[in-house]
Amino acid sequence: MPLPDFLVIGAPKAATTALHAALAGHPQLHLSAVKEPKFFLTDGPPPTTGGPGDADTYREHIWRRPDYEALFRPGFVNGESTPFYLYDREAQRRIHDLIPHAKLIVTLRDPVERAHSNWTHLWSAGLEPIGDFLEACAQEPERIRAGWAPFWHYISLGRYGEQLAHLYTLFPRDQVLLFRYRDLLDRPAPTLNRICAFLGVDQDILTT
């Protein structure tokens, strides 16, 4: 069974869902039906504890390799999108160990804007118990110690320099494509062409 040829690895709340949907419309690409399999986030079953709503998220985690391989199809350039792979150093190592030649796509958003969008998402869903953004950020160290999932790490998720520095110890830079969140929103056609060129598939097919 095939494994992915490329991964959209981050960052959360930086249009990874929109990118996944757009790339799924390319006839030469196959994107996993499960948008965030989270396969590389663990070596086995996901945790059983965490913050509010984490249990539901963990139930979506595809951690058995046959189930993961079943997401992909022979004859296509296969990919999946789990935006926490960039943040998780162990996930980066697992990716390198299993698919060292994979191409990695990273979309970066202003870290303050990203963090606020992250908090708003959880607050609107009724999961974030603190109704003040700055106060919720101040709780991050305690939440990390308590084992809350990475989506609660509002500040740490935006420390892209540290994450990329580690990634580049594992993967050569020509296997990593970086672009800005606003590029996909403001200039979708040229940005998607750039991604298609990186993946080695036909350009001028995707526009939004």
Strand boundaries in the chain, DSSP class E = 6-10, 29-31, 77-81, 103-108, 176-180
Strands 103-108 and 176-180, sheet pairing: parallel
pLDDT in tens, 152-195: 999 999 999 999 999 999 999 999 999 999 999 999 999 999 99
- Give the pLDDT mean for 57-61: 86
When pLDDT is cut at 50, 70 and 90, the band that residue 20 belongs to is very high
When pLDDT is cut at 50, 70 and 90, the band that residue 98 belongs to is very high
The confidence score (pLDDT) of residue 208 equals 75
Say which DSSP state 12 is in: T
**What's the start-to-end Cα distance of the chain, in Å?**
31
Q: Is the pLDDT of residue 207 over 90?
A: no
The confidence score (pLDDT) of residue 132 equals 98
Spatial CA neighbour of 167 closest among 110, 107, 93 = 93
Q: How far is CA 90 from CA 66, 108, 192, in A?
A: 21, 20, 29
- A 10 A CB-CB count for 177 gives 18
pLDDT in tens, 118-152: 999 999 999 999 999 999 999 999 999 999 999 99
Instruction: Please give the Cα distance from 64 to 53 (Å, whole number).
Output: 22
Inter-residue contact 14 to 106 (CB < 8 Å): no
Which domains does the chain possess?
6-113+159-199 (3.40.50.300)
Reading phi first (left if > 0) and then psi (alpha if -120 to 50, else beta), residue 116 is in alpha
Residue 69 token pair: 């391989």
Cα torsion for 182, 188, 192, 193, to the nearest 10°? Answer: -120
Q: By three-state DSSP, how is residue 200 classified?
A: coil
Q: By three-state DSSP, how is residue 3 classified?
A: coil
Q: How far is CA 186 from CA 23, 38, 119, 159, in A?
A: 17, 29, 24, 24
